[in-house]
Amino acid sequence: MNIHAYERLWLVASMVLIVGFIVTITYGTVGLGITMVDDREETISPDDVDEDDRFQDPRVEQVGENEFEAYVVSMTFLFQPDPIEIPANNEVTFYVTSRDVIHSFTVVGTNTNTMVIPGEVSAMTVEFDEPGEYGVVCNEYCGPGHHDMEGSLIVHPEDEYSLTELSVDAPDQVGPGEDVELTISIQNGLLEDLETTVDVEVGDETLEQDVTVPGGETEQVSVTVDGDDLEPGDAEWSASVDDEVETGTVTIGDDADDGGDEP
Amino acid sequence: MDDSGISTEISHDEFDPIGTLALIALYFVVLTLMWLFTYFVEFVGNAPTPTVLL
Ligand SMILES: [Cu+2]
């Protein structure tokens, strides 16, 4: 058979290309450590998502120094939690599962992108260097609301990140001249201790209290506002720790019986 | 032979048009550049990418 020199040249060139393709993919896997999302996670029945420790309360958790895990549930037509808040420059492993049909979890503009299959858990470990807000979309057609299926991922600068949760126990009503006592529970989800200040406002009164919450624990702080300093009537209260704020209203005096049936 | 209009007869391997060679080379360069762009700019540049825990 007579093969022209140019044809032989092209056969060699195409072999070079194929070898080049294989070399770059190998470099990506071995050199850069890029992985594919696979089925190595244990399966989970979509009906049991609510009983699973990870997914019954979709959240972000710190699991080690610079290591976080995000448990995400997707369903028609939303992602939980929304927004997902993570720190920059930390390893975050996303575990994503579906409650109903096939979705995807795609952080727009990044390779953080996986199919989400009911019964399977997709796991991806990524590290975001750039703080900012990223969109999360579903790129598998999943029903009539598919185009509205979106979530968001907020990447906080590492030193501004906290997993603090606040809950406040406050009376709805106190008698005239009685003290108002707020019990503030501060939950610190990070492994590090949280040293912070609780700011409390009741009516025109402001109070401040320093508190240290050990890593992974909840601390209670009681703040009492002297009843003599408060005007009768409805008083707004607020309690804040860092960026978390809780607010409410307390009625001072007995003039707020809802029906007002007594003269 | 004069009647056929053939002035020189060359063998199969002696026919080497420069234009075809240039096209082959250009095509090779285009494919290489597209591959490098797709992988290193569009894919690897879209950080973060899921990686193994090292
Ligand atoms: Cu979807």
- Domain segments of chain A as ranges: 34-160, 164-258
Q: Is the pLDDT assigned to residue A263 strictly greater than 50?
A: no
> ipTM of this predicted complex?
0.79
Q: State mean pLDDT over A165-178.
A: 86
Q: Is B12 on the interface with A (CB under 8 A)?
A: yes
- Give Cβ neighbours of residue A97 (< 8 Å, ≥ 6 apart): A44, A46, A49, A55, A72, A73, A74, A116, A118, A120, A121, A122
Partners of A126 in the beta sheet? A92
- Same fold yes or no, A34-160 and A164-258: yes
pTM of the model: 0.80
Domain A164-258 has CATH 2.60.40.10: yes
Q: Do B52 and A109 make contact, defined as CB atoms within 8 angstroms?
A: no
Which chain A residues are within 8 Å of B39, Cβ to Cβ?
A: 24, 28
pLDDT tens-digit series, residues A181-201: 889 999 998 998 888 889 998
pLDDT tens-digit series, residues A14-59: 999 999 999 999 999 999 889 888 888 899 999 999 999 999 999 9
Q: Is B37 on the interface with A (CB under 8 A)?
A: no
Q: Is B20 on the interface with A (CB under 8 A)?
A: yes
Tell me how far apart the alpha carbons of residues A32 and A51 are, in angstroms, rounded to a whole number: 37
Q: Do A4 and B20 make contact, defined as CB atoms within 8 angstroms?
A: no
Q: Do B43 and A4 make contact, defined as CB atoms within 8 angstroms?
A: no
Q: Is the pLDDT assigned to residue B2 strictly greater than 70?
A: no
B41 CA distance to ligand 1 middle (Å):
28
Backbone angles phi, psi at A219, to 5 degrees: -120, 140
| Superfamily of chain region A34-160 | Cupredoxins -  blue copper proteins (2.60.40.420)
